[in-house]
Amino acid sequence: MKKPEKITSRTANFAKWYVDVITQADLMNYGPIKGTIYFKPLGYKIWENIVKIVNAYFVKQKIENVYFPLLIPQDFIEKEKKHIEGFAPELLTITKVGDKNLVENIYIRPTSELLFADYFKAEIAKNNILPIKLNQWSQVLRWEKTTNPFLRNTEFLWQEGHTIHASKVEADQFAKKIARFYKYFLENYLAIPVISGQKTEREKFAGAVNTYTVEAMMQNFRALQSATAHFLGQNFAKNFEIFYKNKENKSQIPFQTSWGLSTRLIGAIVMVHSDDNGLIFPPKIAPIQVDILEFFSKKNQEVKIFAKKIAKILKNAKISYKIDDTDQQIGYKINNSEVHGAPIRIEIGPNEVKNNQICLVRRDNHQKFFFNIDLLKEKCRKILEQIQADLFKKAKIRLLENTVFVNSINEFEHAVKNNKFVIAPFSESPEREQEIQEKTGATARCILPKNSFFALPQTGNSIFSGEKTNKFVLFAKSY
Amino acid sequence: MKKPEKITSRTANFAKWYVDVITQADLMNYGPIKGTIYFKPLGYKIWENIVKIVNAYFVKQKIENVYFPLLIPQDFIEKEKKHIEGFAPELLTITKVGDKNLVENIYIRPTSELLFADYFKAEIAKNNILPIKLNQWSQVLRWEKTTNPFLRNTEFLWQEGHTIHASKVEADQFAKKIARFYKYFLENYLAIPVISGQKTEREKFAGAVNTYTVEAMMQNFRALQSATAHFLGQNFAKNFEIFYKNKENKSQIPFQTSWGLSTRLIGAIVMVHSDDNGLIFPPKIAPIQVDILEFFSKKNQEVKIFAKKIAKILKNAKISYKIDDTDQQIGYKINNSEVHGAPIRIEIGPNEVKNNQICLVRRDNHQKFFFNIDLLKEKCRKILEQIQADLFKKAKIRLLENTVFVNSINEFEHAVKNNKFVIAPFSESPEREQEIQEKTGATARCILPKNSFFALPQTGNSIFSGEKTNKFVLFAKSY
């Protein structure tokens, strides 16, 4: 009989706990090259579920899917100095094909603004139709110094949306709209509460005018930038000389946006919801919503029949499930189900069969329910909804309880040391932000909007200069 | 008012016709690096439709989706000499990251057998469960000398399936089963008739024991290898030292398969069905099944209302559509619809509105239908079915009429010169195959199975040696 592997506890070593969970839950294996991973079926299924939901929103917004090349030529790189500076040390560079040296280096996309700019230029020259709203589901590669599965990989999967508009306001509003959708998606599907806002000058995307971000709190109180939308202004359009003709037939430079979310969210799901027994999936994104565990089914064929009956009901209710019909011991089966994170498990032994009874256990709080099989569909749906709501609530309370408002440098340092998210009045320079990072390890996550759910005062005194400001910035240690 | 661009005729220049069609139909733009393309929304939508259908089959077969790295390390490359020899000149090689030289080169996957072998080794060592059936939707890169959009790209999208089995027969049968599915998919969804069979030693996949292929005939009578499934035997398992324990707890080497279809199929759809007016989509794979053309709608609001009414009916019938509500002239609109390949167009002018009448035109044969709007759903469905059947029939007749059986070298050469698919009794060496290619330009496409739809004799005399053989091989010039 198999024995379960041990998962490190979160308090003992959070980083090790995370890796234990994602490997034992069969989300991934390490790849052969630093920072790469094999997405195993369960890990990839999470991504497929994310894609399905997010893509449906894009289709509704008349955003069209495309696929653009992985390879970027040398001359594109030279066009966009500011943008490329941000990515230069991470660029994977192809210099050879077979035995032959290339005349010009080719780069693997770290993101595709340059390619979309090139495409937009040709399309607009041909058709002069704006806006164009495109998206691609693909991967990008960045050679990061420190890698962490899902959170920071050399290669990761994402969607990158790119739009181009005649109007500056329209473009900026569009980026904001996407950021609002990201917040909605994280909160309503992944049960991850976020703080959203604009990035500071220092933290914004290389080449953007504004970056809108959604920031989540992990169980170790670190921030994870979970998705971003950028208003690019005319930065790329100018360098690529993109022009459209307005109604007066005058050449104008259009405005662009870009926005993305990635497989990093798989890491977020794990680090926000899971516990020392393993993964806990929010029902709406769970690859498998119900584990059906057969006990003693080898000696008792009726257990198997009962399991099939349950499976049929779940299938009709469009609830995903998996039957564990192996010969492993009960303890192993329960443990295995807990590790893999199905929100609900149903345990079937001879007693359940005899009484036509369901024994249902919630993964998140181990609450047990007993009821007649006739109630299965209804009960299951309700409990899944309840789990979804409870996971969000738990994470939201954690976020609120661990976010503090400070008015001085001392309070700031103390709060960061205590692993808090810190909100401070702040209207200072990027250099000052860097100092803060060097001193405390915390970075500016975002400038809070006026309508933030934190009851902010109208103004405060910026924590270094004491200057009066109405800008409040969220700081935290982050991934 | 816009004027339509001119499409080169197929007889004037088939290659130019092909490029005219795929560019004017907005399937793609050329990418900035040789052999790369921008998949435009319409082109990518074809792929999305293919993915949906093929993936549903995989799910039914309990093949699980994964995502594995793009990057292959140096030491993997060294493990598989025979396999890599086939790809070596095409390998894109990363030697630098940012300004720094890598200690070891990294290669971009031309296919992922090496990575799957590495993954299987670890999984089987851990769980000892067989078979494992995996698939990934991804891209691969091969630096080809001659490139052609969709048909032969430096980067192309595909699915690559990889399985590993305890039994040799099971693995070989599985590869054959997938090849049968490919044939079914091409014939029933893409309306492309194929000849299927096993590849000769010379033509099989680098590293395979057997390759099963489906070969289609383009309108210029060239063959296009449209999908392949490989039985890999123990070739990769041996080099990667993959072992499983059988019931007697003895270490055994398992057997593998791999199989794929790619965006090359987009090229096949175009080259099998389209005409000098542009694209013709088989209804089952068409991104848009019905173009609704508004005529004079600017002066006549009722045309717009009628178009919306039609759209609503089609939406309820799950028939995809697009409304052309632009101010372009009638001729331009019709031409534009023909270029983009929707199987059906519906033309709405004031007369149609007045009579509550539908004027429907088939894209493939320009047949016109007039009927009351109440019949729209039923008629549309029937006509779409009819178009699907007719496109297949037309292509099948072309294939049969242009495939000839030969008994001598003279007949062979004559037939190839006349652009025929040639079936010949053939039991000779790879060197002889090469001679044939050098002399005639034709290559062996596949060994015909006994149950081929061509009524083959029991035996024949191999066309060079005269040796008696029961092997009949299909030869053709190919892409």
The interface pTM score, or ipTM, of the predicted complex is 0.96
For residue B43, the model assigns a pLDDT of: 98
Contact residues, chain B, for A153 at CB < 8 Å? none
Q: Determine whether the interchain pair A38/B115 forms a contact, defined as Cβ–Cβ distance below 8 Å.
A: yes
**For tokens 């009726």, what's the residue?**
A302
Q: Determine whether the interchain pair B98/A88 forms a contact, defined as Cβ–Cβ distance below 8 Å.
A: yes
Confidence of residue A3 (pLDDT cuts 50, 70, 90): low
Residue of A31, A69, A71 with shortest CB distance to B69? A31
Q: Determine whether the interchain pair B32/A118 forms a contact, defined as Cβ–Cβ distance below 8 Å.
A: yes
Residue B451 maps to which CATH number? 3.30.110.30
Tell me which residue of A148, A149, A348, A130 sits closest to A245, measured CA to CA.
A130
- CA–CA distance, A231 with A257 (Å, rounded to integer): 5
Residue B353 maps to which CATH number? 3.40.50.800
Residue A109 maps to which CATH number? 3.30.930.10
Judge if A257 and A216 occupy the same domain: yes
Contact residues, chain B, for A50 at CB < 8 Å? none
The residues pairing with A160 across neighbouring beta strands, listed in sequence order, are: A136, A260
B92, closest residue in chain A (CA to CA): A97
CA atoms within 13 A on the CB side of A112: 29
- CA–CA distance, A152 with A148 (Å, rounded to integer): 5
Residue ranges, chain B, pLDDT below 50:
none
The residues pairing with B424 across neighbouring beta strands, listed in sequence order, are: B473
B87, closest residue in chain A (CA to CA): A98
Q: Determine whether the interchain pair A32/B69 forms a contact, defined as Cβ–Cβ distance below 8 Å.
A: yes
Interface test with B, best of A36, A37, A38 (most B CBs within 10 A): A38
For residue A2, the model assigns a pLDDT of: 65
Judge if B26 and B126 occupy the same domain: yes
Q: Is there a domain that residue A199 lies in?
A: yes
Q: Is there a domain that residue A300 lies in?
A: yes
- CA–CA distance, B403 with B195 (Å, rounded to integer): 10
Q: Minimal Cα–Cα distance from A190 to chain B, Å?
A: 21
Burial-class residue B19 by CB neighbours within 10 Å (0-12, 13-18, 19+).
Answer: middle
Mapping DSSP onto H, E and C, the string for chain A reads: CCCCCCCCCCCCCHHHHHHHHHHHCCCEEECCCCCCEEECHHHHHHHHHHHHHHHHHHHHCCCEECECCCEEEHHHHHHCHHHHHCCHHHCEEEEEECCEEEEEEEEECCCCHHHHHHHHHHHHHHHCCCCEEEEEEEEEECCCCCCECCCECCEEEEEEEEEEECCHHHHHHHHHHHHHHHHHHHHHCCCCCEEEEECCCCCCCCCCCEEEEEEEECCCCCEEEEEEEEEEECHHHHHCCCCEECCCCCEECCEEEEEEEECHHHHHHHHHHCECCECCCCHHHCCCCEEEEECCCCCCHHHHHHHHHHHHHHHHCCCCEEEECCCCCHHHHHHHHHHHCCCEEEEECHHHHHHCEEEEEECCCCCEEEEEHHHHHHHHHHHHHHHHHHHHHHHHHHHHHCEEECCCHHHHHHHHHCCCEEEEECCCCHHHHHHHHHHHCCEEEEECCCCCCCCCCCCEECCCCCCEECCEEEEECEC
Interface test with A, best of B48, B58, B71, B114 (most A CBs within 10 A): B71
Q: Locate B394 and state its tokens.
A: 């037309």
For residue B186, the model assigns a pLDDT of: 98
Tell me which residue of A478, A477, A479 sits closest to A415, measured CA to CA.
A477
For residue B4, the model assigns a pLDDT of: 67
Output the pTM of the full model: 0.96
B26: phi then psi, degrees, rounded to nearest 5: 60, 40
A76, closest residue in chain B (CA to CA): B32
Judge if B213 and B321 occupy the same domain: no
Q: Which of A455 and B30 is assigned the larger pLDDT?
A: B30
**For tokens 């008792």, what's the residue?**
A300
Judge if B63 and B189 occupy the same domain: yes
Judge if A334 and A269 occupy the same domain: no
For residue A435, the model assigns a pLDDT of: 93
Q: How many CB atoms lie within 10 A of CB B125?
A: 13
Residue at which a domain ends, from A222, A247, A273: A273
Average pLDDT, integer, range A6-16: 97
pLDDT digits (tens, 9 = 90+) for A356-401: 999 999 999 999 999 999 999 999 999 999 999 999 999 999 999 9
Residue of B32, B99, B118 with shortest CB distance to A32? B118
- CA–CA distance, B175 with B164 (Å, rounded to integer): 11
Q: Locate B136 and state its tokens.
A: 């990934």
Contact pairs from chain A to chain B, CB under 8 Å: 156
Residue at which a domain ends, from A210, A238, A273: A273
For residue A239, the model assigns a pLDDT of: 93
Q: Is the pLDDT reported for residue A20 higher than 70?
A: yes
For residue B13, the model assigns a pLDDT of: 98
Residue of B68, B72, B93 with shortest CB distance to A94? B93
Confidence of residue A78 (pLDDT cuts 50, 70, 90): confident
Q: Determine whether the interchain pair A73/B33 forms a contact, defined as Cβ–Cβ distance below 8 Å.
A: yes
Contact residues, chain B, for A47 at CB < 8 Å? 67
Tell me which residue of B382, B380, B341 sits closest to B364, measured CA to CA.
B341
Residue of A92, A93, A157 with shortest CB distance to B67? A157
Q: Minimal Cα–Cα distance from A465 to chain B, Å?
A: 38
Bond into A131 cis (ω within 30):
yes
Question: What angle do helix axes B430-440 and B409-417 make, rounded to 10 degrees?
Answer: 50
Q: Is there a domain that residue B6 lies in?
A: no
Q: Locate A382 and state its tokens.
A: 């309700």
- CA–CA distance, B340 with B343 (Å, rounded to integer): 9
Q: Determine whether the interchain pair B98/A105 forms a contact, defined as Cβ–Cβ distance below 8 Å.
A: no
Residue of A44, A93, A119 with shortest CB distance to B65? A44
Judge if A269 and A304 occupy the same domain: no
Q: Locate B371 and state its tokens.
A: 């009927």
Is the C-alpha dihedral spanning A16, A20, A22, A27 positive or negative?
positive
The residues pairing with A38 across neighbouring beta strands, listed in sequence order, are: A29
For residue B376, the model assigns a pLDDT of: 98
Residue at which a domain ends, from B273, B304, B337: B273
Judge if B32 and B143 occupy the same domain: yes
B421 lies in which domain range? 405-476
Residue of B36, B70, B89 with shortest CB distance to A139? B70
Q: Is the pLDDT reported for residue A453 higher than 80?
A: no
Q: Determine whether the interchain pair B69/A118 forms a contact, defined as Cβ–Cβ distance below 8 Å.
A: no
Residue of B32, B70, B98 with shortest CB distance to A89? B98
Percent of chain A with pLDDT over 70: 99
Residue of B105, B115, B139 with shortest CB distance to A70? B139
Q: Is there a domain that residue B278 lies in?
A: no
DSSP string, B117-184: HHHHHHHHHHH----EEEEEEEEEE---SS-BTTTB-SEEEEEEEEEEES-HHHHHHHHHHHHHHHHH
Domains of chain A: total: 3
Judge if A262 and A304 occupy the same domain: no
CB B310 within 8 Å of CB B376: yes
DSSP string, B230-290: EEEETHHHHHTT--EE-TTS-EE--EEEEEEEETHHHHHHHHHH-BTTB----GGG-S-SE
Judge if A415 and A357 occupy the same domain: no
- CA–CA distance, A216 with A269 (Å, rounded to integer): 10
CB B203 within 8 Å of CB B215: no
Q: Determine whether the interchain pair B97/A93 forms a contact, defined as Cβ–Cβ distance below 8 Å.
A: yes
Q: Is there a domain that residue A389 lies in?
A: no
For residue B331, the model assigns a pLDDT of: 95
Q: Reduce the DSSP state of residue B295 to 3 states and report it.
A: coil
pLDDT digits (tens, 9 = 90+) for A308-317: 999 999 999 9
Judge if B61 and B149 occupy the same domain: yes
For residue B49, the model assigns a pLDDT of: 98
For residue B51, the model assigns a pLDDT of: 98
Q: Is there a domain that residue A249 lies in?
A: yes
Contact residues, chain A, for B98 at CB < 8 Å? 88-91, 93, 143
Percent of chain A with pLDDT over 90: 92
Q: Is there a domain that residue A283 lies in?
A: no
CA distances in angstroms from B267 to A145, B229, B264, listed in the order given: 41, 20, 5
Judge if B32 and B165 occupy the same domain: yes
For residue B2, the model assigns a pLDDT of: 65
Judge if A366 and A433 occupy the same domain: no
Q: Is the pLDDT reported for residue A1 higher than 60?
A: no
Contact residues, chain B, for A29 at CB < 8 Å? 119, 122-123
- CA–CA distance, A215 with A473 (Å, rounded to integer): 12
Q: Determine whether the interchain pair A64/B41 forms a contact, defined as Cβ–Cβ distance below 8 Å.
A: yes
For residue A377, the model assigns a pLDDT of: 98
The residues pairing with A93 across neighbouring beta strands, listed in sequence order, are: A107, B96
Q: Minimal Cα–Cα distance from A22 to chain B, Å?
A: 15
Burial-class residue A377 by CB neighbours within 10 Å (0-12, 13-18, 19+).
Answer: middle
Q: Is there a domain that residue B7 lies in?
A: no
